[in-house]
Amino acid sequence: MGGNTVGVHAFRNVPSMKLGSAEMKNWNGKLMLLGAMGTLAMSVAAAEAAQLTVISWGGAYTKSQTEAYQKPWMAKTGNTIVSADYNGGLAEVKAQVESKNVTWDVVDVETSEAISGCNDGLFEKIDASKLPKGDNGASPMDDFVPGAITDCAISTIAYANVFGYDSTKFSGDKPTKVADFFDLKKFPGKRGLKKEAKVNLEMALMADGVPAADVYKVLATKEGVDRAFKKLETIKGSIVWWEAGAQPPQLLASGEVTMTTAYNGRLFTPAVTENKPFVIVWDGQQQVFDTWAIPKGSKNKDLALDFIAFSTSTKPLADQARYIPYGPARKSSAPLVGKFQDDKTDMAPNMPTNPANMTNAIVQDVKFWADHYDELNERFVSWIGK
């Protein structure tokens, strides 16, 4: 029926077939011209629309970016985004850049990796002064929180490396501090840890009594590194290693571990949306900026810059907090943070940046890790294999 109706309307204004040959030729010519114009219009639209490949970490985090950044940007520009996940690190970016076959346009990386990659020529430079002003009128250099802007990357959020536990596994006392993660006698069970030196060494030192403010001072010494590994050794036989951000809540849900380190959003989401009995312990949290960077040699650099400018403006950063409890990197976004997408849960108490969650917290020293990651992670991998 629909096809016949369209046919009737399509031919309603066609001249009668009684037209003379000259008139018919004139009519056919007009049809050909209109067809050519339509084809040209479609070609121009196709040429103007472009495709951007954006790489991130998956799960609730990528969903938050999709809803707050990608969909609004695509609606505004008419362009499309291909979204894919990875597990972090610079190996894939380096391989693409060195082979001169760059297929990624925008990559979500931690600040330490952004700095290291920038120093190694893996990322394009970004002029942050050209980013939009905040909705409060502040320049981007004043509106972004300290440390959120580097030569090759612009921060979107601050998340936290925390540890959490399944509340059903402990009938008496519950874990409340970072030292409890290492107390197998009081809190028995397997522990989940990311298979990487970063975060684990700092956590081990804090659990061993090093004040948060002194962690990197101690870790910068051989004695401090030895001390961190000695503390990790006390739970080595009970460790279950994870590599992807989706794994910690899975490990808790399956009962394979009773406690695990995780990105705070990965524990918050199943607890709120699926009523999982997961509890976050904020003591000893380690805050990290996640940033957008553009691999050197991206074929869509200008488009990538446009997406980054849009997604790091005030409203999109505030909107992201409706989907995941990560603190926006702009000061002007903070007052706009409201409730979770269920319109019930207040997001402010669940933010890593909430003062109540910062009593024994550290901000990851990105310069330290940019300088020492290779050597410390090499020792860490060797220690795991012993």
Structural domains in the chain, CATH included, are 51-158+289-353 (3.40.190.10), 160-287+361-385 (3.40.190.10)
Least confident span in 181-190, 225-234, 337-346, 369-378: 337-346
Least confident span in 179-183, 266-270, 339-343: 339-343
User: Cα–Cα distances in Å, from 300 out to 151, 165, 261, 360?
Assistant: 19, 43, 36, 42
What are residue 242's phi and psi, to 5 degrees? -125, 155
Q: Which amino acid is at 352?
A: P
Select from 148, 151, 85 the least CA-distant residue to 122.
151
What residues contact 337, with CB distance under 8 A and at least 6 apart? 318, 321, 328, 347, 348, 351
- Give the pLDDT confidence score for residue 56 in this predicted structure: 97
d(CA 87, CA 242): 11
- Give the pLDDT confidence score for residue 370 in this predicted structure: 87
- Do residues 134 and 332 lie in contact, with contact meaning Cβ atoms separated by under 8 Å? yes
Q: Rounded mean pLDDT of the chain?
A: 89
Select from 105, 86, 109, 108 the least CA-distant residue to 97.
105
What are residue 197's phi and psi, to 5 degrees? -65, -40
Percent of the chain whose predicted confidence (pLDDT) is above 70? 88
Which pLDDT band holds residue 221 (cuts at 50, 70, 90)? very high
Least confident span in 23-37, 73-87, 92-106, 311-325: 23-37
Which pLDDT band holds residue 343 (cuts at 50, 70, 90)? confident
Token digits for 263?
């990105």
Residue 18 above 90 pLDDT? no
Global pTM?
0.77
